[in-house]
Structure formats: C-alpha cells, structure tokens
Amino acid sequence: MRRRTLGTAAVSAAALGSLAACGSDDSGSDSDSEEQSFSGELVIWADETRTPVLKEFVADFEAQVGVKVTVEEHVETLREDFLTAAQQGQGPDIVVGAHDWSGQYASAGLISPVVLTADQQATLGEASVKAFTVDGNLYGVPYALENIGLIRNTDLAPDAPATFEELVQAGKDAGTDEILTMEVSVDGNAYNAYPLFASMGGYLFKDDGAGNLDPNDVGVDSPGGIAAFEKFAELGAEGVLKTTFDASNTIPFFVDGKTAFMISGPWALTDVQGAEMNYEVTAIPGFEGEGPASPFLGVQGFYVSATAKNALFAQEFVTNYVLTEDLQLQLAEAGGRLPALTTAAEAYSADNPDVQGFAAAGEDAVPMPNISAMDSVWEPFGRAEADAIDGADGAEAATTAADTIRDAIAAS
Amino acid sequence: MLEQRSRTAGSATAAGLIIKISVLALVAGLAVWAALPLIAAGAWWGLALEAAACGIVFYVYVQRRNIPLKYLIPGTLLLIAFQILPVAMTIGTSFSNYGDGHRVDKDAATEAIIAAGVQQTPGGKTYLVAVGDSAAGDLTLLLTDTADGSTWAGDAEGLTEIDAEIDATGRITAADGYTVWGLEELNERQDELATLAVPTGEESGIKVQGLSAFEGTSTRSYDEGCDCITDTATGLVWTADNENGTFVTEDGEVALVGWRVNIGVDNYTAILTDPDIRGPFLGIFTWNLAFAAGSVLFTFAIGLGTAMALNKPGMRGTRFYRTFMILPYAMPSFAMLLVWAQMFNRDYGLINDLFGLSVNWYGNDWAAKAMVLIANTWLGWPYMFLICLGALQALPSDSLEAAKIDGATGVTAFRKITLPLLLIALTPLLISSFAFNFNNFNAIELLSGGAPFRAGDAVGGTDLLITYAFRQAFGSSTSDYGFASAISVFIFLIVATISAVMFRTTRNQEDVYS
C-alpha cells in the first residue's frame, strides 16, 4: 500500500487503525494450509548482531500468520539507511534499533505510533516504555535494555567501592598504572560521563514528572551541572580521567591489568571474559554525600515504518510477537543484554552474575533522552567534559556547553 | 532497402556486428528493466529522460554516420548521470530546508501528525480481529472480545453481537452470513479495509492494529479550508506555515513533524551573513588552503629530493630503496591513518614516547595542524617520488649538458633548467594533488576528526570545508542536508575557481618554456 493511500485512509476514515488493519485475521484457521505458500512479505531491517537471531525466530511467525518474513542486515549505517529509504517511501516494514532514534524518526514522520494495551505495558518495565514515548505516543516496542556499570578486577581490588572516592583510593592502592579507565577521548563522551554528572546533581532536560522532557530547560549549567564539571576538572587534574582514554585502549588497559576499574557496558565483557580474569560487575558509585551515579538506560526495540507496505502484519509482529518470552530470551542471549519483558529478564538473569551486576548498576538508570533536542547535547557536552578534564575551568566549560546547546535547540 | 543494407554494412566484420547487436540489445533490456519501477512509481519525467537517452543511443549506433558521436556518447551519458546530475541535485537541495524534522512532503507530515492523535479509550475493550464479507457483500470486521470471548461483527453501522466459530486463540474462523477472508485475501485486499470505519460511540471507533483491535478515538483532523490540523482532545489548532514547512499553534508551538519546502537562498545567506557561520567559514577556508598547499609542497619537496637522489648516476641499491619508499603508498591509507591517529595519543602514543615529548596533539590547534600535515605528507610523498622519478628520467639531457658547458653549478642548473622543465610536466599533477588534498576528507576525519574542538565550537582546529559540511549533514548533531549542500556548492565553486586559475597559469608557463 502506498503511503498516500494510507494517509487518506487515516484522515478520511478517521481510522488509522483500519488502514493498518487491513487485513488481518485468520491466523488460526489457515495456519496449517498456509505454510508453503506465503501470501505476503514482511521486511525487517536489523543490525549485524540481531539479524541472525531474528532470522531464526521469524520462522515461527511465518508459520503462524502465513507471511514471508525477510530480515535484512544493515551493518553500521542502519539508522541512516532507514531514514534515507523511508523518506522515499521505500525501506522495510520494521526496523530494529535503539530508543533514542525514536525522536528523530518520529519528528521525521517516518515511524507509526503503536498502541500497547495496559496489560502489555505492565509486562514491561516503566522505563522501557517511557524510552520509546515521544510527544505522548509510544513509537516502538522494547526488547532489550543496556546500561554501563563498573567492571572491577577482583584480584586487584577485592571489594566493590561504595563511593567514587573509595574507588579512586582503591585504584591507587592497587598500584596499577591507571586508577580507572573510562572512554573519554579527545572529544569527550557524554554517554559515559553522564553517571558522574548525575551524581553531582546535574540534569540535561527538566523532567515534568510524567516523563516528558522540556527541551527549553537545559540543566548542564545548573548548580549541580557546574559542580559536576568542576568535578571533571578535579578528576582530570588528579589523573583519574584522561582524554587519552579512547576506544583503542579503554578495554585493553583493563584486560592487561593496567587498571583495577573500568566503566563500560556489556559489550566490554567479551574481551574481559576472553582474558580469563576474575572480575565483577557492580553499580558505578556516586560521589560521597551526593546522589547515585545513574547511567543512561539504552533500550532496543522494534519500530513500524510509516511507509510500511505491509503495515498490518508489521503491527501484528511488533505488538504481539515481540513481546513473547521466547524471542526476548533469544535476543538477550545473542546480544548479552537484559530483556525488556520482566519475566524474560528474571529468567535470563537468574544464574548470570554479569547481567545481575549491570541490572544493579541500572537500577537508577534514566532512559537516554529521545527528544530531538538531545542531538544538540552530545557534542557540546562531550567537548566541555574533555576541556574540563584537560584543565579548563569547570564552571566555564559547563556554561559554554549549555549556551551552545540552547543556541542549537533554538536554531532547529 | 539499399540504404538499410549499406547501414548495417557499417560494422566491418561479422564479429563487430554481433557485438553491436548484443550491446544494443543489452541497452534495450536495461532500459526496460529500469522503466518498470519508474512506471510503477508514476515518475513520468524520469521515464521520458530514460526513453530519450535510450533513443539517442539507438539513433547514434544503428546508423553509419556520426562516427565522432559514437565515441562521445557513452562518456557523455555517464558524465551526465554520475557527475552533472548529482551536482544539480546538490544545488537543488541547497535551496531547501531538507534535514531533521523536514524530511517528507506535506501530505506525509500531516498524516503522521494525525496518526499520532489516535488514542486508546481508557478502559476500552480490546479485540482479536478477523475480516469477512457479509451476505450483502459489505466489508465487516469480525471481532472477538479478549476479555469475555464474545463475538461481534463491526461495519459502518457499528457493532452487532453474532454467533461464530472460533479457533484455539479465540479468533473467528466462521460465522453465519459472513464469508471470512483467508490470509491471502487479507494481503491482497488490504486497501479495501482502509475505507472501513467502525464506530463505537460518537467519537470513538474500532482501531485495528495488526491482528488485534482496540476501542479508541482519532482526535486530530486536517481541514483544507484553513490549512490546519485541529486536535479535539486538547483544543489545539496547528496552522500550516508553508514558508518554513511546519505546523504551528498560535502560541508558536511547533508540531512534531514538519515537511520539506523550498526556502530560497536562506542557506547561502546564512553562510554569508551569519557571523556565527561566516567567522568559522573564513577560518576553515584559510586552513583548508594551507593544508592543501602544505600537503602538496611537502610531499613534492620530499618526493623530488628522494627522486633526485635515486636518479643520481652511480647510486647503488636504487631498486631496494625504491621498493622501500613506495611502502607508505602501497599500504591502505585507511589503516595507516588509524595507526597514525594512535601514534599521536598524548599519553600512550609512539611519537611522544619516542621523542620524550608531552605534546597534546589533539588538544592544541597548532600541534593538531602539524600532526595532520605530518601524517598526510608521509602518506603522500611516495606518489610524488614516483612521478618525479619518471619525469626526471624523461628530461632531455642536452639542456642539462648545455648548462654544464655554460658553467652552471648544480644548484643553478637545478633551479634554472631541471625544475622549470619538471614543472611543465608535473604542474597538472600538482594541481590535481592540490584539489585532492583540498577535499581530503579521509585524512582529517580518520586522524583528528576535525579536533581540537573547544566547548561551544562548531568548527575544529583542523576541520576542512568538506569535513565541516559532512558533520552538518551526517554528524552526531542534527542533520541539515540543505545547509550542508550549500557548503558543498561553495566548495565546488572554490575548487573549480582555483583549478581554472592554476591551469591558466600553467598554460602561460608552457608558452614561456616550450
């Protein structure tokens, strides 16, 4: 169905649903006879880690509803690929991606809202639903959660630190070259810096309490924000944080025993496990007397394209099939991330201390803002962090970053 | 008839004729293959263009005359398709606000905003969906209430409870007076369903989503008269602002989705007048010239020096040296650039370690500039070495001998004879090297990524125009293709001008020396 048709339908019939709906039914009666001959096609785009798992799993869905499901792999450029294709009215019916894409996709008008019933929402954590909500509408169905935590070499530092000060002390006592590795790199890294920023009381956008963020209230230079950047400067001077920690050395230094602590995410575990070292994953400690160091929560999920040629089955897939424990468990095992479905998460983390560790680290996690304004935050925030660590005045870095962010938001 | 024969006779041999026929057949086949999606999309202009191109190809090759055209046509068509068309499209984009939030057309934007107004009725019922035709042939939704399993038929009149057979999941498989659709039918007749609205109350209706449905309301509607979208739930009215491609309320609140419009020369005026953009633009431009000139100068100087050393009669082991010196050029530059990027790490990099320095290569403007020039020179000089060596060997020895007889020293002979003669041969290559380095995206992006940046800077110390434009379009912050296109057009004009001036200078030079 071409998009134009869809639109008219939605407008004239005042029934977005019916357009999407078109079609449905019959999964039951025909499922047996339909297995050989597919009556339609559903195209899913996913990245290189999810594609193999999805391919394996769509067979069930194919059998259930008699639609051929094609999973296409897009390495690295999935986010852009979808934008480019969908705005031409092409592209897949479903795209699998991170929740922070939702702001950009929704404001481009390229994804359709999905409605989950109250029961369905209850099976998911509140945060993961919030993560996919843009302007009051849910735009994606979550399946996995991830956040960063503190990975500790238990031979070098036996006890989990309760405060960041303890961490620094333990890092020094370990007698290693570095106290801690955390990817900063020359341009800074707002994602990794956020827990420390939050611990000092900084916020990015004001939350109205209901999960709606106000892009016009930027808190990078709030008193807490300034205190955080001053802390960055202090830690930089002390040699705890360095802009020379980048993607090339953060994990190798930890694996080589050059540091007892590393702040990183589940993706680092492959290397750590490969090194056969003793480690534990715990929460990132907050500063003494300050708030918890809550990391960003990243949620992966399924989006339905607004230009989906088979919107009906795409919606059926994301609303009913994605929320099955089986699929979520499989995806979790492939990606090493916690499932979004609460029951699947419990089953998955039961005997997995790493997952439990990251889950504990993510207890206070806040969904990474998905509003478009967030795109204006990453660079200035990161650079201000790098500047502060390299010796610039913390307060000044914070105010400059905040001004730049405000200008960028006002301009867009 | 006779004429016809003489035309076909144009191909001298049978093999030539066969090749000609098969290539033309291939062209025809490709044309048909390309035409189908164009027809499907209703792109008549594209189809006309394609037909014209195809017609020209046949016209030129089927007949015997127009020999020069036969040579020119393939290149010209490809030039149009892959050079001129992209440039034209870039220029077109530079006059639009195409970018985040303005990616689709107005219809799609309107539709997306309206779709976002569909809300589930709080506490409303949910259903499993089947579709069928009633005895009278009317399209009907056959619904199973998920709460109590009751079965309903829904049409334009509303819901009626019916008796029906259901499967294990509860979905209706058969009902008296209705023909239930199979999956295939559903897939084929999706469009028909779009016309069906099943009301359940004054405002609310059945909204189908996948193979389920819920009771909900569509709160937003578009009115062509006022060119606005009204939301009955909140009472908000968004009026279309066709200049900027957005829907705006009276309070200036902008709706989530905007559309792509022509904004005239705004992107160009932004570059030329906005001090926040103009300032950095001039700065980047200056550095861009310096980077390109520096890269050419250093690579040429070192390349020429080594070439002269190896070209010296009596020099031994030249073969070994030559192989050795080509290495930086022979290795993939992507990998090399990444290795260089690591070597310049302040705390852990090889360069600082080796020389006992603690230069913050990425943090200091001048150090970063030096860094990219060093790495780029290393990557580029073997090329210059190769072409210099070739040119040196081709120099006429008589002029040099004449100079020697006239008593010129080595330096004078080099300055007055060798270098000018070399430059005649090499200037076009130096110009193209300059143009290449002027847009050397890889070197900057992989080495420094444009760094150093200060908080609040849009432009880094080593940014070239091309890396700056790239970040505008595809960077981590908001994408603005329109603006990035405008910058690309500027870059195109700048490079074209510089090249034109330089080629003119070269021509004059050739007149002098030849």
Q: Which of A21, A306, A376 sits opposite B112 (nearest CB)?
A: A306
**pLDDT of A6:** 32
**pLDDT of A259:** 95
**pLDDT of A13:** 34
Q: Tell me if A24 and B211 make a contact (CB, 8 A cut-off).
A: yes
Mean pLDDT of B47-54: 91
Express each pLDDT in B59-100 by its tens digit.
888 888 888 888 898 899 999 989 899 999 999 999 999 988
- If one compares A404 and A6, the residue with the highest pLDDT of the two is A404
- Ordered by where they begin, the domains of chain A are 3-146+298-361 (3.40.190.10), 149-295+368-411 (3.40.190.10)
Q: Which of B115, B180, B212 sits opposite A113 (nearest CB)?
A: B115
For testing contact with chain A, the best of B187, B244, B257, B342 (most A CBs within 10 A): B187
- A317 shares contact with chain B (CB less than 8 Å): yes
Helix (H) or strand (E) holding A269: helix A269-274
**pLDDT of B14:** 86
Closest CA to A242 of A271, A263, A268: A263
Instruction: Give the span between the Cα atoms of A274 and A351, in whole angstroms.
Output: 20
**pLDDT of B513:** 55
**pLDDT of A35:** 44
Express each pLDDT in A297-354 by its tens digit.
999 999 999 988 888 889 989 998 899 898 898 888 877 789 999 999 999 988 889 9
A257: left (phi over 0), alpha (psi -120 to 50) or beta: left
| Alpha-carbon distances, residue B69 vs A54, A166, B56, B75, B76 (angstroms) | 53, 80, 10, 10, 10
**pLDDT of B485:** 92
Whether the predicted pLDDT of B44 surpasses 70: yes
| Structural domain spans, chain B | 2-94, 104-117+225-259, 120-218, 270-513
**pLDDT of B317:** 84
| CATH superfamily of this structure's domain B120-218 | D-maltodextrin-binding protein, MBP (2.40.430.10)
- If one compares B276 and B151, the residue with the highest pLDDT of the two is B151
Express each pLDDT in A171-213 by its tens digit.
999 999 999 999 998 889 999 999 999 999 999 999 887 767 8
- Counts for chain A of helices (H) and strands (E), in that order: 19, 15
Whether the predicted pLDDT of B26 surpasses 80: yes
Express each pLDDT in B105-144 by its tens digit.
999 999 899 888 888 888 888 899 888 888 888 888 999 9
Three-state SS at A82: helix
Q: Following CA atoms A307, A313, A316, A321 in sequence, which dihedral angle do they give, to the nearest 10 degrees?
A: -110
| Alpha-carbon distances, residue B284 vs B22, B212, B395, B466, B500 (angstroms) | 52, 57, 39, 10, 21
Structural contact between residues B175 and B155, judged by C-beta atoms closer than 8 angstroms = no
**pLDDT of B476:** 57
Closest CA to B306 of B387, B379, B418: B387
Whether the predicted pLDDT of B258 surpasses 50: yes
- If one compares A405 and B1, the residue with the highest pLDDT of the two is A405
Q: How far apart are the first and last CA of chain B?
A: 55
**B357: which chain A residues are within 8 Å (Cβ-Cβ)?**
none
Whether the predicted pLDDT of A261 surpasses 90: yes
Q: B343 phi and psi, to 5 degrees?
A: -65, -20
**pLDDT of B403:** 82
Alpha carbons within 13 angstroms on the beta-carbon side of residue B142 total 29
Size of interface A-B (CB pairs under 8 A): 304
Structural contact between residues B170 and B143, judged by C-beta atoms closer than 8 angstroms = no
pLDDT-based confidence at B218, cuts 50/70/90? confident
pLDDT-based confidence at B507, cuts 50/70/90? confident
pLDDT-based confidence at A16, cuts 50/70/90? very low
| Alpha-carbon distances, residue B7 vs A37, B3, B14, B18, B160 (angstroms) | 53, 6, 14, 14, 76
- A319 shares contact with chain B (CB less than 8 Å): yes
Compute CA B72 distance to the chain's CA centroid, rounded to the nearest angstrom. Answer: 28
Whether the predicted pLDDT of B357 surpasses 90: no
Q: B444 phi and psi, to 5 degrees?
A: -75, -45
- Same CATH topology for B120-218 and B270-513: the answer is no
Closest CA to A192 of A252, A163, A230, A232: A232
Instruction: Give the span between the Cα atoms of B120 and B116, in whole angstroms.
Output: 11
Q: What percent of chain A has pLDDT over 70?
A: 90
**A11: which chain B residues are within 8 Å (Cβ-Cβ)?**
110-111, 114, 221-222
Type of residue numbered B411: V
Q: How far is B217 from chain A (nearest CA, A)?
A: 8
How does the average pLDDT of chain A come out, rounded?
A: 86
Mean pLDDT of B253-270: 89
Express each pLDDT in A29-82 by its tens digit.
344 444 446 667 899 999 887 888 888 888 888 887 778 899 999 988 898 899
**pLDDT of A44:** 94
pLDDT-based confidence at B473, cuts 50/70/90? confident
Whether the predicted pLDDT of B1 surpasses 50: no
**pLDDT of A212:** 78
Q: Which residue of B has its CA nearest to A186?
A: B362
Give exposure, A238-274, as e/b (b: 16+ Cβ within 10 Å): eebbbbbbbebbbbebbbeebbbbbbbbbebbeebee
Instruction: Give the span between the Cα atoms of A304 and A86, in whole angstroms.
Output: 11
Tokens at residue B104, please?
């689709």
Q: Which residue of B has its CA nearest to A65?
A: B183
Structural contact between residues B215 and B221, judged by C-beta atoms closer than 8 angstroms = no
| CATH superfamily of this structure's domain B270-513 | MetI-like (1.10.3720.10)
Mean pLDDT of A264-283: 91
Mean pLDDT of B322-339: 86
Closest CA to A249 of B113, B196, B347: B347
Across A396-400, B401-405, B419-423, the highest mean pLDDT is recorded for: A396-400
